[in-house]
């Protein structure tokens, strides 16, 4: 072979390698396993990368407590230098609310917390400003009228547990508690979490670890220990979901929604910061894998039992999805075509079909796309996590495609 031919061969090989690398960057390889019966889930997951702008993600599905889908792929950072690994964790925003609700239901199941009691029975300071009749169930169902604080509350303020809970105890409701739901985007975790602390002596992060994630070996924390930061995926906003545009659009919201969604404004940049990860924000800074989310919501799908261990009695597990009345949510109403119904800590699938065709299935979405789903009738739980955030608070198209694929296989 001549020198010129060798050079041409080398050039073609280099082009072929570069083309393969470019293809892998645009359409990353999916890892893990998927039972043949659920091939549609793998197809939908791969399509999320090709068609729906996925950067890095993972999805896990269990049926009857057995894992039938456990897939991951893509990149843990926007520069695409760190592959999404089997044990990559990510902030899942409000998907955290399900595990926090679980903490309250464990205490209720043990007779230590009465969901029909006034919150002030456990947290006396909470009775201020006409809140003496607010019930524990109102906190769980976003009906306490405390979707956000009336006074400016900075990000640093949010990181201060004692300050945030004290301000919530001292403020007045935005509407008559118990009459309507209004999504408590950030305040939910402090409200339910402080009741958990008053009853158990532990904040929800420590309580969840002691009672659930520790015994079951579930890779999920509220906040993120510094020693685990190397495993964390970096959240990325799409242009349409940037913090600046959130702030601009929030100025058009009603005061009650403005308090819930923009006091303070938080987004990807804030969630990637050491301060956010070090804090305990039980409504929004749970970190885990899709496997962990599927396991936690699997407790609900398994009617209180998961991995051979009983966490809730069947009766207590059923109570989690006790509907509190459908309505147009005072905070999220504009984002849905009709009414929604929140149960005691999670949202019912309902007519929206947010968690599949079973109207009694339930779960919780996280800002930008993540999701935890429980369907006791089908014995199904699902965990979906990702780092490229879409603009929606719930029902991201990527999640919807995965949920539809699961049910098409049943």
Q: How many Å apart are CA 382 and CA 294, to the nearest integer?
A: 5
Find out whether 148 and 259 touch, Cβ atoms under 8 Å: yes
Which listed residue (2, 16, 94, 313) is catalytic? Answer: 94
Let me know if 353 is exposed, middle or buried by CB neighbors in 10 A (0-12, 13-18, 19+). Answer: middle
Residue pointed to by tokens 């804030």: 270
Token pair of 220 as six digits = 């999920």
285: phi then psi, degrees, rounded to nearest 5: -125, 40
Based on the residue annotation, tell me whether 94 is a catalytic residue of this protein: yes
270: phi then psi, degrees, rounded to nearest 5: -65, -40
Residues tagged active-site = 94
């Amino acid at each position: 072979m001549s020198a010129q031919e060798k050079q041409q061969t080398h050039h073609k090989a280099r082009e072929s390698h570069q083309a393969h690398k470019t293809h892998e960057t645009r359409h990353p390889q999916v890892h893990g396993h998927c039972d043949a019966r659920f091939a549609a889930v793998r197809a939908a997951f791969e399509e999320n990368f090709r068609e729906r702008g996925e950067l890095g993600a993972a999805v896990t599905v269990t049926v009857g407590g057995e894992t039938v889908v456990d897939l991951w792929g893509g990149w843990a950072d926007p520069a695409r230098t760190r592959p999404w690994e089997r044990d990559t964790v990510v902030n899942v925003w409000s998907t955290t609310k399900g595990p926090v609700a679980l903490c309250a239901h464990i205490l209720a199941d043990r007779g230590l917390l009465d969901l029909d009691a006034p919150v002030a029975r456990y947290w006396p300071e909470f009775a201020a400003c006409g809140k003496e009749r607010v019930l524990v169930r109102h906190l769980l169902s976003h009906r306490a009228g405390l979707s956000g604080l009336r006074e400016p509350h900075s990000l640093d303020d949010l990181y201060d547990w004692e300050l945030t809970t004290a301000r919530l105890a001292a403020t007045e409701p935005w509407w008559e508690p118990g009459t309507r739901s209004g999504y408590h985007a950030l305040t939910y975790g402090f409200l339910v979490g402080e009741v958990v602390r008053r009853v158990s002596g532990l904040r929800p992060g420590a309580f969840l670890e002691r009672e659930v994630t520790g015994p079951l070996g579930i890779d999920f924390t509220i906040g993120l220990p510094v020693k685990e930061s190397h495993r964390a995926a970096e959240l990325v906003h799409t242009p349409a979901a940037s913090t600046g545009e959130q702030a601009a659009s929030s100025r058009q919201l009603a005061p009650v929604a403005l308090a819930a969604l923009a006091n303070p404004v938080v987004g990807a940049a804030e969630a990637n910061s050491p301060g956010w990860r070090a804090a305990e924000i039980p409504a929004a800074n749970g970190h885990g894998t899709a496997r962990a989310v599927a396991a936690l919501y699997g407790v609900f799908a398994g009617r209180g039992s998961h991995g051979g261990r009983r966490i809730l009695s069947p009766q207590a597990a059923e109570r989690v999805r006790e509907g509190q009345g459908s309505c147009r949510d005072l905070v999220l109403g504009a984002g849905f075509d009709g009414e929604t119904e929140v149960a005691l800590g999670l949202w019912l699938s309902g007519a929206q079909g947010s968690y599949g065709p079973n109207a009694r299935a339930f779960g919780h979405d996280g800002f930008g796309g993540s999701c935890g789903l429980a369907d006791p009738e089908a014995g199904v739980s699902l965990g979906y996590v990702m780092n490229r955030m879409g603009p929606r608070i719930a029902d991201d198209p990527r999640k919807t495609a995965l949920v539809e694929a699961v049910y098409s296989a049943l």
